[in-house]
Amino acid sequence: MSVEVSPVTLQEEEKERSRKARAAMDAAAAGPVIHYFASALFWLILGSVLAMLASIKLHSPALLDQADWLTFGRVRPAHLTTVAYGWSTMACIGVGLWLMSRLCRASMRHTGWLHLSALLLNLGNLAGVIGILGGRSTSIEWLEYPIEAGCLIAAGFLPVMWAFVDMARRRQPGHIYVSQWYLMAAVFWFPLLYITVQALMIWSPVAAPAQPPMNWWYAHNVLGLWFTPVCLAAAYYLIPKLIGKPIHSYYLSLVGFWSLAFFYAWNGMHHLVGGPYPAWMIGLSIVASFMMVVPVIAVAVNHHFTAFKDIGLVRTSPTFRFVVFATFSYTAVSLQGSSMAFRSLNKVTHFTHYTIGHSHLGMYAFVTMLLFGAIYYILPRVTGREWPSAWLIRVHFWCCGLGVLYYVMALSIGGVFQGMWLLDESVPFHAIVERMLPYLQQRSYAGMAMTVGHLAFITSFIWLLLRSPQPASRPTLLARAI
Amino acid sequence: MVIPITLLLLTVSGLTISAVLAFWWAGSTGQFQEIERGALAVFDADEMPLEEEGHER
Amino acid sequence: MHQFKFIFLGALGTFFSAWLGLVLLPVVHYGAEAKALEPGAPLPERELIRRGEQVYAANGCVYCHTQQVRSPSYGNDHLRFWGERRSVAADYENDTIAFLGTMRTGPDLSNVGQRLSSAAWHYQHLYEPLSTSPGSVMPAHRFLFERKPVENGVVDPEAVALDAEGNRVDAEGYQRVPSAEARALVAYLLSLQRTVTPRPEAEEAPSLR
């Protein structure tokens, strides 16, 4: 018998080591990641119910109008905050933790703290929703949660920051991948933003005239410096992994990261264009909005050029399908956002549903669809179980994808009309309210489709968790394009 | 108007300084050397022969 | 690890520079100008207005109503009689929260106290918006009213009309009177006369008009 080891065997051993290392990292990450995803899904479903209520109330105000806790002005902020801090934030943390572990090639440690963190975030969201529906909303957009909810969420974020730093300390030498740049920056940006603004607007509020700039600086930056970086990090990871080819240009991806970091923090005041503030303040933010085109083009070129190396994969890969949808939405929503700072367009769309359409193109068609894609990729890896039904995945994709496109279309068209009618003083105000009803009804139909998609997803999710692990099983692929 | 303008200048210089610092660091630690190899940092050892493998799903 | 320190530094530097410009600056600029609450109004009324502000916040009026008048160069707010001049930051110096708003599902409320100065109208509108504003999609705020029996045949002067005929007592002999919350909210709404005081900073360069 020969003791000589052939190069092929060595290569095989190395591959086996890599596979085992990945499996070990995924096993260590499983607990907190599943905890975060399950919590996020709970808030997604609650957020969808609240969204449907708010949407229907806007064209049929008589629905459930007896109880104070179900009035539109409470249900609407409850929807926004549960989907922002419950669904998106918790899903982003789950995705971010797993990505960080995989990219640093470091196993998650002391996961008890991360379970505590998920618990605190859940309690914070619960306290927040109860507070808002109970009549203690602050009515500061994106910061409606009362004081105790904000404290719980801020506290819940500390173990997450610690876990990111801990994994970064143990990272393997060499190039920092672009996703790590985004993740590391985002995990510090969000708590800083959140705690600063909580302190200045909730814990010890500054004078009222100084509040709106802070409000919109926060509300815009939480999108650009928290949800966006985490989701871009996930896209930069998933696209190359799925197609097996590196990103189109690593250089461009770094240009994208740094220009986002520098320009984004200046955004936000464009929400106050035409408002009661000095021109230089608004002007600065309009300039920053235009500057955002730079990182967007850098990211768009990278994502789309890379994805198009093997675009046919959308036919079979659930993750790829969601991620490609989301990256196209990112390009669209970012360019739309820059254009909305233009004075001529802003004049029409500023106080209309066009803005709501824009925010759903960002928070749903980009952030939420990307998080769906990431969960489709991550969950089988951390649980060792495959998705039970390709049919449910297809229902999920088409309901949510077509739903959100229809949603954005209805509100964008309706919003432009609303803005033009508002600018035409010959149209009486009550006529505008009446003419907007059909668009708002279409929005409710779109929302229903999205909710059906969410129900399909949570069914898949629970079904997967209830299955027994299937070692070395084949991934669940979509057999046909539709 | 002196205070706002001073703070504005401070802000802009703060931006520039942090940018310069970060780029200086990235350059000095080799993050920009063989920059396109950074794109491979996402792959593990067993995924490197990109054309044949890597289709995880 | 030391590599990541610089990422933190970069992130922190970016953050704090923006914080200085967009957060601290307005605080220094406008915070210093904060004045005493409604110098003219007597103390109990001021407290009522502040409570009304809380009711306005609790029930999310801001999601459909703005409180900012844009300049004639930026729309036709003045032609809808929402205010004679544009709003400026100092218009909010007596508030606890500046409800600027971002959506005009309903009309702007910057000067609603001047435009609609009757408390009775506001009570009626809050109880059943369609009774005063046909076509409105505003939710009825019946939960801000108390169901009280009519005593000795005297109907409360503030009781709202319950139907199109203007009946203020229902079949069971009950009336609906504004709760303390409704009173506070209406006091706040009536106090909204933001652009009545002239402000030099609201004047614009002739080229912008």
**Per-residue model confidence as pLDDT tens digits over A332-353:** 999 999 899 888 899 999 999 9
Contacts of A211 (CB under 8 A, 6+ apart): A140, A201, A205, C97, C98
| C147 part of contact set with chain A, CB < 8 Å | no
Contact state of A205 with C143 under an 8 Å Cβ cutoff: no
| C23 part of contact set with chain A, CB < 8 Å | yes
B-chain residues near A176 (CB < 8 A): 31, 38, 41
Q: Is the pLDDT of residue B50 over 60?
A: no
Q: How far is B46 from chain C (nearest CA, A)?
A: 26
Q: Which one is predicted more confidently, C12 or A316?
A: A316
Residue A279 and residue A258: Cα distance in Å, rounded?
Answer: 27
**Per-residue model confidence as pLDDT tens digits over A94-112:** 999 999 999 999 999 999 9
Q: Give the model's pLDDT for residue A210.
A: 82
Q: Is the pLDDT of residue A125 over 90?
A: yes
ipTM of the complex: 0.92
Q: Is the pLDDT of residue A7 over 80?
A: no
Q: Give the model's pLDDT for residue A2.
A: 47
| A209 part of contact set with chain C, CB < 8 Å | yes
Residue B53 and residue B50: Cα distance in Å, rounded?
Answer: 5
Chain A interface disruption, residue of B12, B42, B51, B56, most A CBs within 10 A:
B42
A-chain residues near B50 (CB < 8 A): 244-246
C-chain residues near B17 (CB < 8 A): 13
Contacts of A222 (CB under 8 A, 6+ apart): A84, A142, A190, A193, A194
Q: Is the pLDDT of residue A401 over 80?
A: yes
Q: Give the model's pLDDT for residue B53.
A: 41
Q: Is the pLDDT of residue A402 over 60?
A: yes
Contact state of C10 with A141 under an 8 Å Cβ cutoff: no
Contact state of C59 with A135 under an 8 Å Cβ cutoff: yes
CB A92 within 8 A of CB A53: no
Helix (H) or strand (E) holding C163: none
Cross-chain CB nearest to B56 (options A174, A241, A250): A241
**Which A residues, 288 through 327, put their C-beta within 8 Å of a C-beta on chain B?**
317, 319
For residue C147, the cross-strand partners are C176
B-chain residues near C32 (CB < 8 A): none
Q: Tell me the CB-side half-sphere exposure of residue C134, using CA atoms within 13 A.
A: 3
Between vectors from CA C192 to CA A429 and to CA A356, what angle results, nearest 5°?
45
Cross-chain CB nearest to A76 (options C8, C60, C129): C60
